[in-house]
Structure 1
């Protein structure tokens, strides 16, 4: 991980959640290749590297992010990507 990786990931979610509308807009991304799903991957990696106390603190933030991300996306009706089974955020779609 790079310095400020967690701060960068949190900023990407903050930006995404400030976008208007009930559902996240698939055409609006922080930067190409840096969508919220990638930010969530970065947060997951950070959780593996942090000491327990910091994991609990970040875990509380992630729980709120996950709730909002789930609220503003829909389940993907397509086939399950076996490579991403544990990463539920990749099985969500934006917009209707």
Structure 2
């Protein structure tokens, strides 16, 4: 993992969740590798390498992030095949 990967991932969610409105804005998509879905992938990878205490702490943050991400996105029925990468890839933003 890159240095500061967890901090960078968390800051992406903070910026995304700071957007006004009920749903995340699709026009705020930066570019591949810089989207919140990529940040969620980074958090998932970090969980594999953390000691138990830190894993629990990050897990609690991820639980809150997941709930907010699910609340602010919509199911994308045509992206079911992406579920192998993580459920967060099967969600879409406001268009």
TM-score w.r.t. structure 1 length?
0.91
Q: Distance in 2 between matches of 1:90 and 1:79?
A: 8
Deviation (angstroms), 1:89: 0.2
Whichever structure has more helix as a proportion of its residues is 2
Name the SS for the 2:26 alignment partner.
coil
Gaps of 5+ in 1: none
Partners of 2:79 and 2:20 lie apart in 1 by: 29
Counterpart of 1:52? 52
Equivalent position SS for 1:27: helix
Q: Distance in 1 between matches of 2:74 and 2:28?
A: 16
Give the drift of 1:50. Answer: 0.4
3-state DSSP class of the match of 1:22? coil
Runs of 4+ in 1 over 4 A off after TM superposition: none
Q: Distance in 2 between matches of 1:19 and 1:42?
A: 21
Find the aligned partners of 1:40 and 1:9 in 2 and give their Cα distance.
Answer: 7
**In the TM superposition, what is the alpha-carbon distance from 1:3 to its structure 2 partner?**
1.0
Quote the Cα distance in structure 2 between the aligned partners of 1:59 and 1:35: 20
Post-superposition Cα deviations, 1:41-60, rounded to whole Å, max 9, x if no partner, equal: 00000000101110000000
Q: Report the counterpart of residue 94 of structure 2 in structure 1.
A: 95
Gaps (5+ residues) in structure 2? none
Q: RMSD value over aligned CA atoms?
A: 1.4
